[in-house]
């Protein structure tokens, strides 16, 4: 089956770029202005600590999640959805074009843009005041891990974008909260089932339990490997499973969408 | 795949538990401009959407140009152009639109588009979003025909077009017919499609109740203008107009006359079984239309 072609993927990417470049320029102007303002004002107040790392991460995460939530908006609008789905391109190509734009292109685009804007702001500070904040270094381990973390977590918002017709960003957040609450409830129930003997009223007092296994010298031996395994499994799920599962769900949903 | 045409067999589809189509059968061949007629809610738009893969059938088989449209394969979408009644045009100029969307269609013809745009007298350089509804539609029609897709689906294409544009549209479409191309037009504006669409397909209550070329219609049905109220056997449809009565009868070998689409539609809708019988077994003498037999006639809107 002629299900994938780089030519069509390129055409879809070009189409997305042409449709969204104005919004991107407006957003860039707004962010650039804000960075410049904060940089100059804090330099005036002689607050010269590193400000660019803390300012870049909200742009990456919050901005990226919002952009991702809007990416399939056209699918849910009257007339637009028909136009988009009837456009020559397989579901895989359409999905990949949206994924690329909202993950890699956004992450590295925003990194490049922020590096340039912050460098310009600090250049101005040094020219005007003779001093400034430390320059933003895009190559730190923290930044690269943050970008990887963004690419993994934005996949959840991609699912939200394709599922929710309206207010995808808010609804995805709401569902994440609900998911968090559900997990907390399940953990609480499991804890109750295992440790109900240690319940004191509505609270579970595990001190006697820890004292007992501690006294026998087993605390370290029992808890450490378990915690380690749990952590490894959670990391594996986060870095290796979560995003691909979300991508598959999004792709299947796109393939099955009717308008 | 080089398979041509559309084959629909036993197709079932519905938005709710109530079926819109239940066992629908339809075969369309290249080289025709089909007219799809039906009352509101008959399922014309849904059928177009199923054909281009925007809606999925619940059961049955639908093959379009050799592909199953529900999978929306790119190779099929490259060969289908669908202009819905409610459409979207991005806020870019026509030239930009051509540059961005033209390459999606492998056989896209720039010169053809230019020619059609000139014919439609569309302002150059203006953003599509700034054009009127009719101008947008003309642009998309011109673009659609220039894609040289083998299947062109048009949903109410003349809605919103002014009088000269309707005539231009007819001329343009008549020229756009190609040997292996299917143009399927769903419309209520039957007068705009006169002498253009052929064969005629009539969809009623989820079934194709009529699918005939116009030469068969002329061969089997005869229309006459009569000054007195028609009565007696053989009257299939009668309608009072300003100058008398338009009467449709079975053509028993007399001179062929040309039925206008509106009269044909009303005749078919009002005599579903009789018309079915007549076109299936042309030698059978159909019984008279009960309404006509009783002297009951429809009145045109002008008289009301």
Residue A65's domain comprises 6-256
Query: Which of B54, B74, B92 lies at the smallest CB-CB distance from A18?
Result: B92
Maximum CA extent, chain B? 63
Give the model's confidence band at B127: pLDDT under 50 very low, under 70 low, under 90 confident, else very high: very high
Beta-strand (E) ranges in chain B? 6-13, 21-28, 32-38, 59-64, 80-83, 151-155, 182-186, 200-204, 207-212, 221-226, 235-241, 244-250, 298-299
Q: Does residue A19 contact residue B100 with C-beta atoms inside 8 Å? A: no
Pair of tokens at residue B272: 């579903």
- In this complex, do B87 and A79 lie within 8 Å of one another by their Cβ atoms? yes
Nearest CA in chain A to B89: A80
Asked, for residue A1, whether it belongs to a domain, the answer is: no
Size of interface A-B (CB pairs under 8 A): 72
Pair of tokens at residue A69: 């939530």
Q: Which domains does chain B show, CATH number per domain?
A: 6-210 (3.40.50.300), 214-303 (no CATH)
The rounded percent of chain B whose pLDDT value lies above 90 is 60
The rounded percent of chain B whose pLDDT value lies above 70 is 91
Asked, for residue A190, whether it belongs to a domain, the answer is: yes
A216: phi then psi, degrees, rounded to nearest 5 = -85, 5
Residue A118 makes CB contacts below 8 A (sequence gap 6+) with A35, A39, A52, A55, A56, A135, A136
pLDDT in tens, A4-63: 999 999 999 999 998 888 888 999 999 999 999 999 999 988 878 889 989 999 999 999
Q: How far is CA A199 from the centre of its chain?
A: 39
Residue ranges of chain A with pLDDT lower than 50?
Answer: none
Q: Identify the DSSP state of B69.
A: G
pLDDT in tens, B52-92: 999 999 999 999 999 999 999 999 999 999 999 999 899 89
Per the structure, how many domains does chain A have?
1
Q: Does residue B208 contact residue B24 with C-beta atoms inside 8 Å? A: yes
- Residues belonging to chain A with any Cβ–Cβ distance to chain B shorter than 8 Å: 1-3, 5, 8, 11, 14-15, 18-19, 74, 77-80, 82-83, 85-91, 93, 255-256, 258-259
Asked, for residue A177, whether it belongs to a domain, the answer is: yes
- Reported pTM: 0.88
- Alpha-carbon span A48 to A42, nearest angstrom: 7
Output the CA torsion A13→A14→A15→A20 (10° steps).
90
What share of residues in chain B are helix, strand, coil (percent, to 5)? 35, 25, 40
Q: Does residue B80 contact residue B68 with C-beta atoms inside 8 Å? A: no
Asked, for residue A138, whether it belongs to a domain, the answer is: yes
Q: For B278, what's the count of Cα atoms within 13 Å in the CB-facing half-sphere?
A: 31
């Amino acid at each position: 089956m002629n299900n994938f072609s780089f030519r069509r993927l390129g055409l879809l990417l070009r189409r997305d770029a042409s449709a969204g470049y104005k919004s991107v320029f407006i957003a860039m102007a707004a962010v650039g202005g804000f960075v410049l303002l904060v940089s100059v004002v804090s330099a005036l107040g002689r607050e010269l600590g590193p400000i660019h790392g803390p300012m870049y991460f909200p742009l990456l995460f919050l901005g990226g999640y919002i952009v991702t939530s809007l990416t399939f908006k056209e699918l849910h609008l009257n007339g637009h959805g028909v136009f988009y789905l009837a456009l020559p391109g397989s579901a895989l190509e359409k999905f990949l074009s949206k994924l690329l734009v909202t993950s890699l292109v956004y992450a590295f685009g925003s990194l490049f843009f922020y590096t340039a804007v912050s460098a310009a702001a600090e250049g101005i500070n040094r020219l005007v005041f003779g001093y400034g904040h430390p320059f933003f270094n895009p190559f730190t381990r923290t930044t690269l891990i943050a970008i990887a973390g963004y690419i993994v977590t934005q996949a959840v918002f991609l699912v939200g974008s394709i599922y929710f017709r309206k207010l995808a960003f808010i609804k995805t957040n709401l569902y994440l909260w609900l998911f968090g609450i559900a997990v907390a409830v399940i953990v609480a129930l499991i804890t109750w089932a295992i440790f109900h003997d240690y319940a004191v009223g509505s609270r579970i007092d595990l001190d006697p339990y820890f004292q007992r296994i501690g006294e026998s010298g087993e605390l370290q031996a029992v808890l450490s490997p378990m915690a380690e395994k749990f952590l490894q499994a959670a990391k594996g799920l986060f870095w290796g499973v979560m995003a691909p599962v979300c991508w598959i769900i999004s792709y299947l949903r796109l393939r099955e969408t009717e308008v | 795949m080089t398979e041509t045409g559309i084959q629909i067999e036993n197709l079932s589809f519905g938005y709710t538990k109530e079926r819109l189509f239940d066992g629908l059968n339809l075969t369309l061949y290249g080289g025709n401009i089909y007219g799809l007629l039906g009352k509101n809610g008959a399922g014309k738009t849904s059928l177009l959407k199923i054909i281009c893969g925007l809606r999925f059938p619940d059961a049955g088989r639908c093959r379009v140009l050799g592909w199953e449209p529900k999978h929306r394969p790119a190779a099929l979408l490259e060969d289908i152009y669908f202009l819905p009644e409610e459409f979207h045009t991005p806020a870019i100029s026509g030239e930009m639109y051509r540059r961005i969307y033209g390459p999606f269609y492998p056989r896209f013809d720039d010169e053809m588009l230019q020619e059609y745009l000139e014919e439609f007298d569309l302002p150059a350089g203006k953003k599509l979003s700034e054009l009127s509804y009719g101008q947008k539609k003309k642009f998309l029609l011109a673009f659609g025909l220039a894609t040289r897709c083998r299947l062109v689906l048009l949903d109410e294409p003349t809605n919103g077009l002014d009088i000269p544009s309707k005539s231009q549209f007819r001329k343009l479409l008549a020229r756009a017919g190609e040997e292996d191309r299917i143009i399927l037009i769903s419309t209520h504006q039957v007068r705009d499609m006169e002498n253009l669409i052929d064969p005629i397909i009539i969809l009623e209550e989820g079934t194709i109740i009529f699918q005939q070329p116009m030469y068969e219609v002329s061969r089997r049905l005869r229309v006459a203008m009569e000054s007195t109220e028609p009565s007696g056997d053989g009257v299939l449809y009668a309608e009072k107009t300003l100058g008398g009565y338009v009467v449709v009868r079975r053509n028993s070998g007399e001179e062929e006359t040309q039925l206008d689409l509106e009269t044909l539609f009303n005749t078919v809708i009002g005599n579903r079984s009789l018309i079915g019988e007549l076109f299936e077994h042309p030698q059978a003498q159909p019984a008279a239309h009960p309404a006509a037999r009783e002297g009951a006639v429809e009145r045109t809107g002008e008289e009301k």
